[in-house]
Amino acid sequence: MAVDIEDLLSRMSWEQKLGQLQIVWRKDPAEQRALVKGGLGAVFWPPSAAATNELQRIAVEETELGIPLLIALDVVHGQFTIFPTPLAQAASFDPEVARSDARASAEEARAAGVNWTFSPMVDVTRDPRWGRVVEGFGEDVFLASGLAAAKVAGYQGSGLAEETTVASCLKHFVAYGAAEAGRDYNTTDISERRLRETYLETFRVGVEQGAASVMAAFNSLNGRPMHANRRLLTGVLKEEWGFDGLVVGDADGVAQLVDHGVAADEREAIRLAIEAGVDVVMGGTLLVDAEGTPLLSPGELSQERVDDAVRRVLRLKERLGLFDRPFVDESREATAATAERRATARGAAERCIVLLKNDPGRGRERLPLPPRGRILLAGPYARSLDHLGAWVQRFATPVAAGLADALAAELPGVDWDVAEGADFFDPSEEAVAEAVERAREADLVVLAVGEPSRISGEASSRSDIALPGAQSRLIQAVAATGVPVVVVLVTGRPLVVEDWIDRVDSVLCTWHLGLEAPAAIAAALSGRVNPGGRVPMTFPRAVGQIPIYHDHERTGRPPQLDGMVLPDEQAEFAGPNNTFDYYTSKFIDLPLGPRFDFGHGLSYTTFELSDLTVSPDRLREQDDGAGTAEVSVTVRNTGTVDGDDVVLLFVTDAVASVAQPVRRLRGYRRVALPAGGSARLSFTLAVDDLCFWADGTHRITEPGEFSITVSDGASTVSHPLFLA
C-alpha cells in the first residue's frame, strides 16, 4: 500500500513533526511506551521481537496518525552471530566477506524487530592510536570504499521492504578518523583538497550505493562542529550528491554543541543542528515530552527545514515497508547463532588472517605447525574466550572454547602443554618464569598474545600501542631459550612490535575474528587453511612515525640511502654507521618505512606475477571522460600447496600540477590458485582513476605519463600508460 507522504505531512501538527525527529534510549519499558504513545518516531531496540511488536502496536494503534517506528541498533559486525571486526574484514581484501557479514546481520536483526543499523563505519584513518580503527576498513580510500559499498548492499539487499533487510547508516560524517593525536572525539583540521580526496570519498561511494542514512560525527572540522556544519551536511551531502535519505546525529552529539562552545544552551544547539541538516536528533533533551509539550516553538525553526526532515523520516519508513508491515513474525526470531551462520562466520574469519612473518629455521618455516611433537601454548589468548572484538552487544552468542581446545582438536597428534605465561595487563614474573622453564622442554612454542577487545573501539585511544602488560617480556624471555617461537597476534589495531618481532620465527596476525575465531586460528596454524589476508593498515615501527600510510604525498627531499632515492617500502636501515643522505625526510633513529606496509602478507606457498599488459597504453580523454584501458597480468602459484594471492593495482602520476601520492590503489583482486596453477587477471582502469582534486572545488585530469604497477608484495611488475 503506497503512502501519500505529502498528505500525511499536511495533517501533522508541529508537535507530531518534532516527535518524528528524535531517537531515544530508555531502560524503563513504561517510560519508553509512554514516549511512543506521545508520538516519538524512533527508539533503540527493546530488545526482543515481542517487545518491538508491542511498541509498534502502540505507535500504529494508540496514536492519532498511526506512524510506525524506526527501531535502531548498532549491528556492527553481527547481531547474534559475530563476524570478524571490520578492520579484520578489510584484511581479507574480499568484499564478499563484508557483504556476507552484513547479510547475516540484517537477517538476524530484522527478525528481532530491528530495522535500522548504525553501520557501516566508513571513516578512513591513518592513526592506529585511535581506538575506532577496529570499526572501520583501514587507511586506504579505494579499499574502504569498496568494502563500504559491499556492506551497504549486504544490509539493504535488493530492497528495504524485504523482511530480511535493515537500513544502513554511513558513519561518521566526516573526518572523524583524522582526530588530532588519535584521541577519540578530538578536533580535526584538514585542507579542502585532502577532505575531498580522502575523507569524503567513502561516504560518496556509500551514498551512490544507496545507503539509507548518514550519521554526523562528534568532531569539529576546521573549527565547525559537524553537527552544525551546514556546508557539508546540506551543501555537499544533500545538495551536491543528491542524498535523499536521512541524517541522524550521534549519541548526544547535538547537545554537545554546547560543550564545543558554539551554542549557548541545548535549545540553540538543536536549532543549529536541524538547520544545518541533521534530521533526527539522538538523545539529549526531548524535543517533545510524554505529555506532548514541544521544546521549540514554530518560530524557532524553519518550517520548511522541519518539513524536509520529517519527509525524509517518513520516506525511510515507507521504503522499509513499515506502513504495510510494522510487526515482525516472532516465530522467526533467533537468539543465538545457527550452525549455518557459524559456518559462514568461520569462512569469513579464515579469510581475514594475515601471515606477517615466517622465517626459515633449521631448513624450514615454522608454520604450518608440525602434526606431531611437543608444543607449548602460552599467553593470555591460550585459553581466553575474548575473540568477539569491540562493538558487540551483550546478547551476542559467546565463544564457547578457546584456542587450546581448538588446537587440540585440530592437531590431535601433538603433545600439547598449555601455560598462562602472562595475562593481558598485570605482570607476573612467576608465570613468565614458569613458561620459560616449560618452553625448554618443548620442540616449539606458540605464544598467543594480544590486545583484549575492551581496549580497542570507541573511547579506547592508546598513546602506547605496544602489547599491554607483560606480554612483550614473555615473548623475549621465551625466545631467549633458543626454542622456535610462533606468535599469534590477536588485536584490534596495528601494534608496534619492534621490541620482539626480530626475536621470533613466525607471526600470525588474527585480529578479533568473532565467534569462530579459535577454530579459524587453529586451521591456519595447522596449514589446513593457508593464510591469504593482507595488512589493510600500516604497522609503524614506532608511535613517533604516526600518521603513517602507504599513499603519502611525495616530498621535495625523499628518503635516500647511498645517494639513491628509494620508496619507503623498499629502503632498508643501514645500521649505526648508516650512509643516509642527511638532509632528507626521515627519522635519524629509525629505519626507513614502516614495519609492515599496507598490503603486506605472506603465504605457505609462493606466487609470481608476469606478462603485464596495458591496452591501450595510450588513452585520450573522451568528452564524457569514459576512456578506459584494460590492465592484465598473469599470476602463478609457484609453490607446492594451494593458496590465495592478493594482487594490487597502483597508479603513479609522473608529473602533475599538484603534488601527488607516491602511489594510489586503483584495483585489487584476491585469487585462489592450486599449486602450480595460474590465472590471468584483468582490471579496468578508467580515465577517472587518473583524476585528482586540484584544490577541493573541482577534479581535473592532466595529460602525461603514468606508471601502472601491479604487485602482490613479493612480486612487482610495471608498465607505462600515457594520457593525451
CB proximity list for 155: less than 8 A, separation 6 or greater: 102, 103, 105, 106, 117, 119, 120, 165, 166, 167, 168
- What are the percentages of helix, strand and coil residues in the chain, rounded to 5? 30, 20, 50
For residue 415, indicate whether it is catalytic: no
Report d(CA 147, CA 127) in Å as an integer: 19
Classify 356 as helix, strand or coil: strand
Q: Which three cell numbers stand for residue 338?
A: 545457527
**What dihedral do alpha carbons 78, 113, 277, 122 form, nearest 10°?**
10
Report d(CA 586, CA 435) in Å as an integer: 39
CB 488, CB 447: distance < 8 Å: yes
φ, ψ dihedrals at 608, nearest 5°: -140, 135
Instruction: Give the DSSP H or E segment for 723.
Output: strand 716-723
Q: Which of 443, 561, 535, 543 is nearest to 499 (CA)?
A: 543
Task: Give a three-class secondary structure readout of 569-594.
Answer: CCCCCCCCCCCECCCCCCCCCCCCCC
Report d(CA 438, CA 415) in Å as an integer: 13
Environment class of residue 542 by beta-carbon count within 10 Å: exposed (0-12), middle (13-18) or buried (19+)? middle
Q: Which of 450, 507, 509 is nearest to 484 (CA)?
A: 507
Report d(CA 249, CA 217) in Å as an integer: 8
CB proximity list for 153: less than 8 A, separation 6 or greater: 99, 102, 209
Q: Which of 686, 695, 636, 692 is nearest to 661 (CA)?
A: 692
CA distances from 365 to 130, 489, 497, 507 (A): 34, 18, 20, 11
One DSSP character per residue, 116-133 reads EE---B----S-TTSGGG
Report d(CA 11, CA 63) in Å as an integer: 13
CB 60, CB 66: distance < 8 Å: yes
Q: Which of 562, 645, 570 is nearest to 606 (CA)?
A: 645
Instruction: Give the DSSP H or E segment for 629.
Output: strand 628-637
6 φ/ψ sector (left φ>0, alpha ψ -120 to 50, else beta): alpha
Strands 699-700 and 692-693: antiparallel
Classify 637 as helix, strand or coil: strand
Report d(CA 273, CA 614) in Å as an integer: 50
Which one is catalytic: 127, 250, 423, 551?
Answer: 250
CB 643, CB 530: distance < 8 Å: yes
φ, ψ dihedrals at 22, nearest 5°: -150, 145
Give me the active site residues, please.
250
